[in-house]
Amino acid sequence: VLRGHSDWVRALSFAPDGEILASGSDDGSVMLWDTNTWNLLSELNSSDGFILTLAWSNSGQIILTGTSEGKILLWNPKTGSRIATLNGHDDYVRSVVWSPDDRFFVTAGDDNQIHIWETSTKQKVETLTKHTDWVRGLAWSPDGSVLASSDDNGYCYLWDTSTWTVKKTLLEDSYGVGVLEWSPNGEILAMADFGGYLELWNPETGEVSNYLHNHTRSINDIVWSPDGSMIVTGSSDGTIRLWGIP
């Protein structure tokens, strides 16, 4: 058990090399834990609201966080210093993600907007405004060609990252979609909803290939095994389920 935060822990993310676990909390801090000893390495503190979401860059050189005050904070995990504070959203920042090459990062939130940022300049290069409800999920395809985004109305848009136009619209017509995750080979997009359903979509055809349901409450997170043979889901019903993918 890791103890250090004084309020709810909202976000967790391992460094790409697996050596550090970052945790974000309503106490406004990000804590970095050594995964060999589970000792606290450092604490990144802010007064910009709850830390609702976080993501390591693929290089492991930057930690990206989103807050309840609509701010995006970028941190240097080695020095513990803040690289930048960006005022991007008018409401909670619910999701952040990096492009596979780290050239861009994306933020989304309760203002229904998605912002695309250039890493080198920390400037917005595009704003996507098609969603009409809170944007909860973001997932960049492994080959970098598609960004998936989902909202509380059950819509998931697949964006062509070369033009930032919508390639396909996927609709989960029962519940809002909270979590998205691409399979390692990019051939399946897993979508989890607030009703406890896990749907596996073919992004090329825009059709559901499989419905998986055993949770009794919302699914809050999804992770694929590295070889793509398994999905693990965590739910508000208090269970973690492992699903074999043929």
Tens of pLDDT along 12-38? 899 999 999 999 999 999 999 999 999
Supply the pLDDT for residue 246: 76
| H or E element at residue 206 | none
CA angle 14, 214, 234 (to 5 degrees): 15
- Residue pointed to by tokens 């998205």: 180
Q: Average pLDDT, whole number, for the chain? A: 93
Nearest residue to 226 (alpha-carbon basis) of 57, 60, 23, 16: 16
* 37: Cβ contacts below 8 Å, ≥ 6 apart: none
Confidence class for position 130, pLDDT limits 50, 70, 90: very high
Nearest residue to 168 (alpha-carbon basis) of 136, 207, 142, 139: 207
Tens of pLDDT along 176-191? 888 899 999 999 999 9
- 118 beta partners: 104, 123
Q: Summarize the confidence of residues 218-227 as an average pLDDT.
A: 88
Supply the pLDDT for residue 1: 87
Rounded to whole angstroms, the Cα distance separating 15 from 157 reads: 28
The count of other CB atoms within 10 Å of the CB of residue 103 is 12
* Longest Cα separation, the chain: 47
Supply the pLDDT for residue 156: 94
pLDDT of 94 above 70:
yes
Rounded to whole angstroms, the Cα distance separating 133 from 144 reads: 25
Supply the pLDDT for residue 175: 77
* 106: Cβ contacts below 8 Å, ≥ 6 apart: 96, 97, 98, 99, 114, 115, 116, 117, 138, 140, 147
* 79: Cβ contacts below 8 Å, ≥ 6 apart: none
Tokens of 162: 């070369």
Tokens of 102: 């780290």
DSSP, res 144: S
Tens of pLDDT along 157-214? 999 999 999 999 998 766 788 889 999 999 999 999 888 889 999 999 999 989 888 8
Rounded to whole angstroms, the Cα distance separating 28 from 121 reads: 25
Rounded to whole angstroms, the Cα distance separating 25 from 112 reads: 23
Print burial letters for 141-164: b (CB count within 10 Å at least 16), e (below 16): beeebbbbbbbbbbbbbbbebeee
